[in-house]
Amino acid sequence: MDGKLEYTIFVRSVMESQRGTKLKAVSLFSGAGGMDLGFKNAGYDLIAAYDYMKPMVDTYNKNLGGAIQLDLSSCDFSLIADKIKSKDDVDILIGGPPCQGFTSAGTRFWDDPRNSLVRNYVDALKHFHPRWFVMENVEGILTTARGIYLYETIKKMVELGYSVFIRKIYMQEYGVPQRRKRVFIVGNNEGKKYSFPKPVTPASGRIYRDSVATLRNAIEDLQDVYDSDFDQEPHREKGIKLRRIETLEPGQSMKDLPRELQHKSFKRRAFRRVMDGTPSAKRGGAPNGLRRLVYDEPCLTITSASPNEFVHPVRNRMLTIRECARVQTFPDEFRFFGKKNDRIVQIGNAVPPKFAEQLAKSINISDMNESEISPGLISYDLSKTAARSSALMRTEKMLGELTNNQLSFNY
């Protein structure tokens, strides 16, 4: 038996004998349950989940059960925590509060009501006081509001007595067939050392032909089967959109089409500039519009727009909802509920269950560490590249203050 696997089995058996039960998790901003499914597969007991959107709660309950529809921007977490903790201990709090991208700054940043969702996640930490927590967010949180958003969030977590670890995760490194970057913040209040799971595949270079993290391995077997979420065949395009699709080669997008096939808004969007003067077309975002995917590479990031923008690698149609779910590593038996737009939003917003399971297992192992460290920001890894934007450098400098200063807090 592989030594690492043997050690993992030993650790989990010791934990079970010590606790006599599974680690208990509470989920906030649970969405359709991508992160929760990963934690469940890793052996955690999901004792409660909360989200505001009814279609997401319906999906969660049909597949996992135990979700409650609740407005997390205005609820009283002290009452919720007291009710749950009267029955169960809470080992870990998981969730991904939306980063709303506001530019408020200064001493009143944390009091700004527009920043309520992340602030309420931290408020939940205060009342649940779990031993561990996991918070997921888009990479924009690293530079939003000149870094103050992230800085204030971490500062509050440390004030609550947590040792905090931050990393930007590249999902294709973990067997997820998708170029998806997300920020994960993991913390514990027991002074435990923690290491994020080790990548299984490099995120760059010509390495994908022998990798499981390719679009081909994710969806090739689906071919033209009907989209089972809607009990109908994939939508067949016609007219100029079909001509555009037929013209696109793998890896090409709207900008590669002949001028007569480009959307009339393409030229205007291509030269739209953002505040720092860089054309948006050079920033990796719009205006790609339609893009034909490449089979032997990871897919581009799945979002709510993917079924309208991503062309199948070899077939002249768009990706289906089920194909998007495959790329997000949801199993085929996982069913999504609500209108079509509700379903793709659920899929696009989810944490890929395959990565979430690896993350959950890494916490299981770390939980066996002896208490060795004090509350504070212990480590942060915000980019794989040596080059840093001025915005990211500013954030790193601010976070450095939390790691270098010996601060004293009242818990």
> What span, in angstroms and rounded, lies between the C-alpha atoms of 36 and 40?
6
Hey, how many other C-beta atoms are within 10 angstroms of the C-beta on 226?
Answer: 13
The answer to whether residues 259 and 267 touch, using CB atoms and an 8 Å cutoff, is no
Local structure of 401: helix, strand or coil: helix
Strand partners, 181: 170
> What span, in angstroms and rounded, lies between the C-alpha atoms of 125 and 94?
10
**H helices then E strands: how many in the chain?**
14, 10
Q: Which among 27, 47, 67 is positioned nearest to 337, based on CA atoms?
A: 67
The answer to whether residues 259 and 276 touch, using CB atoms and an 8 Å cutoff, is no
Under DSSP, the state recorded for 183 is: E
Half-sphere exposure of 309 (CA within 13 A, CB side): 17
Amino acid letter, residue 360: A
Beta strands in 52-180 (DSSP E): 67-69, 92-95, 132-138, 163-170
Query: Which member of 75, 99, 299, 324 is catalytic?
Result: 99
> What span, in angstroms and rounded, lies between the C-alpha atoms of 347 and 228?
15
Rounded to a whole number of angstroms, the distance between the first and last alpha carbons of the chain is 44
Is 99 a residue of the active site? yes
Scanning the structure block, which residue is given the tokens 């204030």? 152
Q: What are the catalytic residues?
A: 99
